[in-house]
Structure 1
Amino acid sequence: MAFNALYKRRDLTQPVRVLREREDPIRGDVSQHADSLERRTGPWPHKPATVTVSLPEMRKGRVGIMLTTVMARVQAPTTATHNSVRAQAVAHARGRSHLHYYEALEREGEIFWIKTADDLDKSVAMWADPNDDTPVGLILTMESADPILGPDNVSFWAGAGLKSVSLTHFGANTYGHGTGTVGGLYPPAYPLMDALAETDIAIDLSHASDLAFWQILDHWKGPVHASHCNCRALTPGQRHLTDDMIKAITDRGGVIGMVFAEQMLSPFWNWDDPSTHYANSTRPMKAAIAHIDHICELTGNTDHVAFGTDLDGGFGRELSPIDYNTIDDLQTFVDNLRDHGYGEEDVEKIAHENLIRFFKTAWEG
Structure 2
Amino acid sequence: MTKRLIFDAHLDLAMNALEWNRDLSRPLVEIRLREMGMKDKPDRGKGTVCLPELRKGGIGLVVATQLSRVTPYGSSLPGWHSPQQAWAMTQAQLVWYREMETLGEMIQITNRTELEAHLALWNNTEQPDEEKPIGYILSLEGADSLVDVSYLHRAYDYGLRAMGLSHFGPGRYAPGTKMEGPLTPLGFELLNEMGKLNLILDVTHLTDEGFRQVMDRYQGPVWASHHNVRKIVPNQRQLTDEQIKQLIERDAVIGGMLDCWAMDIRFIDTVSDPWQLDIRLENLVDHWDHICQIAGNSHHVAIGSDLDGIFGTEQSPWDMNSIADLRKYEDILARRGYQPTDIDNIFHGNWLRFLRKAWK
Q: Please give the TM-score of this superposition, normalised by the length of structure 1.
A: 0.91
1:177-218 residue CA offsets vs partner (Å, 9 max, x unmatched): 100001111100111111111113111000001111111112
Confirm whether residue 351 of structure 1 aligns to residue 350 of structure 2: no
- Equivalent residue, structure 2, for 1:102: 97
Gaps of 5+ in 1: 37-45
Confirm whether residue 196 of structure 1 aligns to residue 194 of structure 2: yes
Contact 1:49 1:315 in 2 (8 A): no
Opposite residue 134 of structure 1, the aligned amino acid is: K
Q: What is the CA–CA distance in structure 1 between the aligned matches of 2:222 and 2:19, rounded to whole Å?
A: 29
Contact 1:49 1:318 in 2 (8 A): no
Any idea what SS the aligned residue of 1:73 has? coil
Q: What is the CA–CA distance in structure 2 between the aligned matches of 1:78 and 1:103, rounded to whole Å?
A: 35
Confirm whether residue 280 of structure 1 aligns to residue 273 of structure 2: yes
Any idea what SS the aligned residue of 1:250 has? helix
Q: What is the CA–CA distance in structure 2 between the aligned matches of 1:302 and 1:350, rounded to whole Å?
A: 7
The offset of 1:249, in angstroms, is 1.1
Q: What is the CA–CA distance in structure 2 between the aligned matches of 1:157 and 1:257, rounded to whole Å?
A: 24
Q: What is the CA–CA distance in structure 2 between the aligned matches of 1:246 and 1:93, rounded to whole Å?
A: 35
Opposite residue 337 of structure 1, the aligned amino acid is: L
- Equivalent residue, structure 1, for 2:106: 111
- Equivalent residue, structure 2, for 1:71: 67
The offset of 1:292, in angstroms, is 0.5
The offset of 1:268, in angstroms, is 2.2
- Equivalent residue, structure 2, for 1:91: 86
| Alignment size in residue pairs | 342
* Identity percentage of aligned residues: 35
Any idea what SS the aligned residue of 1:309 has? coil
CA change 1:216–1:49 in 2 (3 A) is farther
Q: Please give the TM-score of this superposition, normalised by the length of structure 2.
A: 0.92
Instruction: After TM superposition, list the pairs within 5 Å mapping 1:159-308 onto structure 2.
Output: 159-269=157-267, 278-281=271-274, 282=277, 283-308=279-304
Relative CO higher for 1 or 2, CA cutoff 8 Å, sep ≥ 6?
Answer: 2
The offset of 1:277, in angstroms, is 6.9
The offset of 1:77, in angstroms, is 3.7
Any idea what SS the aligned residue of 2:150 has? helix
Confirm whether residue 14 of structure 1 aligns to residue 7 of structure 2: no
Q: What is the CA–CA distance in structure 1 between the aligned matches of 2:352 and 2:74, rounded to whole Å?
A: 40
Any idea what SS the aligned residue of 2:107 has? strand
Q: What is the CA–CA distance in structure 2 between the aligned matches of 1:77 and 1:62, rounded to whole Å?
A: 44
Opposite residue 18 of structure 2, the aligned amino acid is: L
Gaps of 5+ in 2: 1-12
Contact 2:33 2:45 in 1 (8 A): no
Q: What is the aligned counterpart of 1:134 among 123, 132, 135?
A: 132
Opposite residue 162 of structure 2, the aligned amino acid is: S
Opposite residue 103 of structure 2, the aligned amino acid is: E
Q: What is the CA–CA distance in structure 2 between the aligned matches of 1:51 and 1:77, rounded to whole Å?
A: 32
- Equivalent residue, structure 2, for 1:3: 15
Any idea what SS the aligned residue of 2:304 has? strand
Q: What is the CA–CA distance in structure 1 between the aligned matches of 2:270 and 2:50, rounded to whole Å?
A: 27
Q: What is the aligned counterpart of 2:155 among 131, 154, 157?
A: 157
Opposite residue 349 of structure 2, the aligned amino acid is: E
1:52-91 residue CA offsets vs partner (Å, 9 max, x unmatched): 1000000001001011000001122433423x11111111
Any idea what SS the aligned residue of 2:22 has? coil
CA change 1:141–1:49 in 2 (3 A) is farther
The offset of 1:49, in angstroms, is 6.6
- Equivalent residue, structure 2, for 1:41: none
The offset of 1:147, in angstroms, is 2.0
Q: What is the CA–CA distance in structure 2 between the aligned matches of 1:200 and 1:15, rounded to whole Å?
A: 37
Q: What is the CA–CA distance in structure 1 between the aligned matches of 2:330 and 2:203, rounded to whole Å?
A: 25
Contact 1:176 1:185 in 2 (8 A): yes
Contact 2:43 2:313 in 1 (8 A): no
Q: What is the aligned counterpart of 1:148 among 124, 146, 149?
A: 146
